[in-house]
Amino acid sequence: MAHLAFPFQVDGRGRTAQVDDDEYIRGLIEQVLFTTPGERVNRPTFGSGVLQLVFAPNSDELAATVQFLVEGALQQSLGGLIQIEAVRAEADDASLRVVVQYLVKRTGERRVAELERANG
């Protein structure tokens, strides 16, 4: 099944770009993780808030906090599409790397999304 690409773009044929299911779900995960709650006017609870933790001192507590925030935000926003199996977070200076292992409910396939965001 094809979905509109996010962010919106035009493909080489001059048509609206489309992505497959895997790319679509990965894009949704990225949107949830890197959106701050309150950033979207009509969806004030959408997002995870992890970007606020990029400059926090790296510790076991930070990793646990990120894991809790990510799992909760993904479950709330994408619980109908995916089942979260594992979350791992790594903070390094001004970057945050999150690895999400999930199961696509429609197909039963296991996937891993590795996402990184650098501030600066």
pLDDT digit string, tens, across residues 9-50: 888 898 888 888 889 999 999 899 889 999 989 999 999 988
Tokens coding 106: 């429609």
Question: Which CATH number goes with the domain that contains 15?
Answer: 3.10.450.40
Q: Please tell me the distance from the alpha carbon of residue 56 to that of residue 58, in angstroms, as a whole number.
A: 6
- C-alpha atoms less than 13 angstroms from C-alpha of 100 in its C-beta half-sphere: 29
Backbone angles phi, psi at 108, to 5 degrees: 80, 10
Summarize pLDDT for 42-88 with one digit per residue, the tens: 999 999 988 887 777 777 787 788 889 999 999 999 999 999 999 98
Number of domains in the chain: 1
Specify the pTM: 0.81
1: nearest Cα among 80, 106, 83, 76? 106
Domain range for 87 is 3-118
Q: Where are the alpha helices (DSSP H) in 37-107?
A: 60-78
Q: Please tell me the distance from the alpha carbon of residue 86 to that of residue 79, in angstroms, as a whole number.
A: 14
65 C-beta neighbours (distance < 10 Å), count: 16
